[in-house]
Amino acid sequence: MSSRGKKILLGILGALALILAAELIGRLGLAGKAWPAPSDAIFSVLGNKLNSALLFRSLGATLVSAGTGLLIGSVAGVAVGFLGFLFPVLRPGLDQTASILNTIPLVALAPLLITLVGPQGMSVLTAALGAGFAMFVATASGLLAVSPAHSDFFTVSGASRLQHIIRLSLPSAVPSLLGGLTLAGSGAVLGAVLGEWFGAPSGLGVLMISSMQNFQVKLLFVVALTAALVSLLAFYTMVAIQKLVGRRFA
């Protein structure tokens, strides 16, 4: 067997072992009542019309917040990164602030953010923050990733600063921007779910909290699984886009 085939086989085996372990722990009740067998939880939640409707409505709300946040955050992150590129005086301050803002826990920012946008807007805003940081870093480093030889050629050929930026810096930044998007996608999903914990009317985060407090363990399990899947999907969609588009710019 080829080494690639062996690798894929082992990977599948590892994943199966994990799923099997989760199922066994649930069936044998090893972790108590709070760990249902995944298959049982999925069937009973999806089989119940009320629960599955609730799940899909919440999923929709979270997707809208995460998507809106991803869009806003990406535009803002790229814009601020570009600002630092155009005005180098601002760059040290922007870098410093971005890494500090990224370090400050969401809970600490929550009162400030809630005063700004209210509890309904929290999930979009936190999703935007999660995505924005990744895009800012990607833009800031991508715009500087110009090969010196190309830059010299542009200068020697008498290119203006505008031509320099549009024809050289921007295309060179594309791979880095795509890399940033892979982080921004799952960052936005996480941000949206966390933001919903601060008083959003609906969403996966809200459903998670309510099912935790009401001891609906099966629902809680399925909601958490859904959130994880959405995050995974966001990540791998971005990776696919990166592969498709990145080939032209590599």
Partner 1 sequence: MSKVLPVLGRILARGWPIIVLLLAWDLVAVVNGYTDLLLPRPLSVASYVSNNVAKFAEPTFITVALAVPGTILGLAVGCVLAILVWYSSILDGLITPTTSVLQAVPVVAMLPVIGRLVGYNEITVIVIVMLLSFFPAFVLVLARLRQANGSSEDVFRVFGASRWTTLARLLLPQAVPGLLAAIRMTAPFAIGAVILAQYLLSIGGLGQLITDSIVRSDTVTVWAIACITSIVSIIVFALTKRLEDRVAVRFK
Q: Provide the binding-site residues for partner 1, judged by CB under 8 A.
A: 6-7, 9-11, 13-15, 17-18, 31-32, 34-35, 89-90, 92-94, 96-97, 99-100, 103-112, 115, 186, 189-190, 193-194, 197, 205, 208-209, 211-212, 215, 217, 220-221, 224, 227-228, 231-232, 235-236
As measured in angstroms, the least distance from the Cβ of 222 to partner 1 is 11
Which is closer to partner 1, CB of 59 or CB of 193? 193
Which is closer to partner 1, CB of 151 or CB of 216? 216
Burial (CB count <10 Å: 0-12, 13-18, 19+), residue 35: middle
Categorise residue 216: left if φ over 0, alpha if ψ from -120 to 50, beta otherwise: beta
Which is closer to partner 1, CB of 7 or CB of 167? 7
d(Cα 216, Cα 208) in Å, to the nearest integer? 10
Contact yes or no for 48/219 (Cβ under 8 A): no
d(Cα 27, Cα 126) in Å, to the nearest integer? 37
As measured in angstroms, the least distance from the Cβ of 136 to partner 1 is 12
CA-closest candidate to residue 25, choices 206, 64, 33, 136: 33
CA dist list (Å): 245 to 77, 171, 181 = 20, 12, 12
Which is closer to partner 1, CB of 113 or CB of 168? 113
As measured in angstroms, the least distance from the Cβ of 187 to partner 1 is 9
As measured in angstroms, the least distance from the Cβ of 216 to partner 1 is 10
As measured in angstroms, the least distance from the Cβ of 212 to partner 1 is 4
Which is closer to partner 1, CB of 93 or CB of 171? 93
d(Cα 233, Cα 214) in Å, to the nearest integer? 29
As measured in angstroms, the least distance from the Cβ of 154 to partner 1 is 28
The token pair at 122 is 């929290």
Which is closer to partner 1, CB of 115 or CB of 160? 115
